[in-house]
Amino acid sequence: MPFNRDLSRRRLLQGAAGATLVSSLGMPAVLRAQSGPIRIGHLTPLTGFLGPLGEYAQLGVKLAVSEINEAGGVNGRPIELVMEDSVNPQTASAKAERLLTRDDVVLIIGEISSSSGLAIGQVANRLNRIFINTGCNSDELRGAGCNPFMFHVEAANSMYVQTAGQYLLENGLVEGKSWYTLTADYAFGHDLLRVARNFLEKNGGTFAGEDLVATDTTDFSPFILKIRRARPDVVISNLSGNQVTNFIKQYAEFGLPFPISGFDIPTTAAWAAGPGAFSGIWPSVWHHRVDTEGSKAFITAFVEEYGKLPENQAWGDYNAMKIVAAAIGELGGADSPEIADYLRTGVEFDVLKHRPAFFRPYDNQLVQEMYAVRAKSAEQMEDATDVYEALGTVPLPDQSLEIIAPPRDGACQMPA
């Protein structure tokens, strides 16, 4: 869908590492002189199968806060993080309530589990407070589960499937082919399976088999034996977190001839799989090969601070914090209804990619570039982090970013 936004309301807000927030410039002296920290809540899983991603989420948001505060804060006020382990949907809901009603945070950033993200979003909506989702992929959060106070820096499942799917099509791995899917057995996986099924059937493929996999599964041999018997043309992973690492390592050990790809690959999972185990075509919302000045600055700052490369989850939480700070600086305050209205004006943000991104008013999804990558063989790798090559950007530079956004099917009903 082509852009039709009011250009007079668009402005590019810089989010590159170390940059001064444009929104802090030119504000009245009385606003710049305000004191007292702006308290921001951060919820993300630090335990369980998503724990390794949650650790990177915390590193990313802390780096953003450090850069903002070193640059003078937002209108002279420092950002103060209140961080919690979200654990599971019930705990996430209770902690979101406590953060917003007792701990004096103005809004919440974070989460990775779609089930927990939905729970946090419901609390935020009831209290009329912003929740910026940085890791929940489920289209459901942009559909029937949407609400005017929940915004999505993380890409939706439909965006991931279309990104990898374009390259799977080009490589003859969809039309007339049979897929065997392994899917994480919770909200994210169920939603991803639905989106993947629609894509496969629309493009002339069939299913050779499918299994739901409990999130605490570590032994994938029973599933791999079923794959061997089914003899599919392609094996598709709809797994999540360290499930992906365990599966691709064990699949490589079995030495089956059926190519593997998938629609969700945390960089941590690819790194942890080890040389030669990771294979196939996968999508990414961001990766450390993105060749922009902002991305390079972010990587340099992250490595200097933590001694290792950033993972794509770190990118999400880092940029969410920069967007929030820019919005507060521009508005001169942290009122959630005002921030929500502002984010839906079409204002553009530098999210360290080739093209700026913006939140779509229909469902509050950040519309942005996506990337496809192909795994490298052990012989091609230069070091342990050199696990894939960049295939390209989706959409193409001359295409509207909205062509990969979740469908406008009417499922999301925002109040007027």
How far is Cα 41 from Cα 95, in angstroms, rounded to an integer? 10
Q: What is the reported pLDDT for 78?
A: 98
Are 121 and 39 in the same domain? yes
33, burial (CB in 10 Å: exposed 0-12, middle 13-18, buried 19+):
exposed
Residue 324 lies in a domain: yes
Q: How many angstroms separate the CA atoms of 394 and 406, rounded? A: 14
Give the model's pLDDT for residue 320.
Answer: 98
Q: Are residues 37 and 130 in the same domain?
A: yes
**Residue 2 belongs to a domain:** no
- How would DSSP label each residue in 359-375? EETTTTEEE--EEEEEE
If asked whether residues 126 and 176 sit together in one domain, one would say no
| Domain-embedded: residue 29 | yes
In a domain, 73, yes or no: yes
Domain assignment of residue 344, given as a range: 7-155+290-368
296 and 263 together in one domain: no
Q: Give the C-alpha distances (Å, rounded to integers) separating 138 from 65, 89, 245, 278, 384.
A: 27, 14, 21, 24, 30
| Same domain flag for 42 and 79 | yes
pLDDT of residue 276: 87
Same structural domain for residues 229 and 249?
yes
Amino acid symbol at 211: D
Q: What DSSP string describes 70-137?
A: HTT-BTTB-EEEEEEE--SHHHHHHHHHHHHHTS--S-EEE---HHHHHHHHHHHHHTT--EEESS--
Type of residue at 254: F
Contact of 334 with 328, CB cutoff 8 Å: yes
- Residue 172 region, left (φ>0) first, then alpha (ψ -120 to 50), else beta? left
The domain that holds 396 is classified in CATH as 3.40.50.2300
Q: Do 219 and 356 share a domain, yes or no?
A: no
Is residue 171 a contact partner of residue 243, using CB atoms and an 8 Å limit? no
The pLDDT value given to residue 6: 37
Sheet holding 281-284, edge to edge: 281-284, 370-375, 388-394
Angle at the Cα of 323 from the Cα atoms of 102 and 5, rounded to 5 degrees: 125
User: Tokens 């590159």, residue?
Assistant: 16
Q: Cα torsion at 301, 305, 309, 314 (round to 10°)?
A: -80
**End-to-end Cα spacing for the chain:** 22
Domains: count for the chain: 2
Tokens of 114: 């779609």
Q: What is the DSSP string of 298-316?
A: HHHHHHHHHSSPPPHHHHH
214 and 358 co-located in one domain: no
Global pTM? Answer: 0.91
Average pLDDT, consecutive stretches of 10 residues, N- to C-terminus, the chain (416 residues): 33 38 37 72 96 97 98 97 98 98 98 97 98 97 97 98 96 98 96 96 97 97 98 97 94 97 94 92 96 98 98 97 98 97 98 98 98 95 94 95 94 87
Cα–Cα nearest to 281, from 369, 169, 138, 192: 169
Contact between 199 and 161 (Cβ < 8 Å): yes
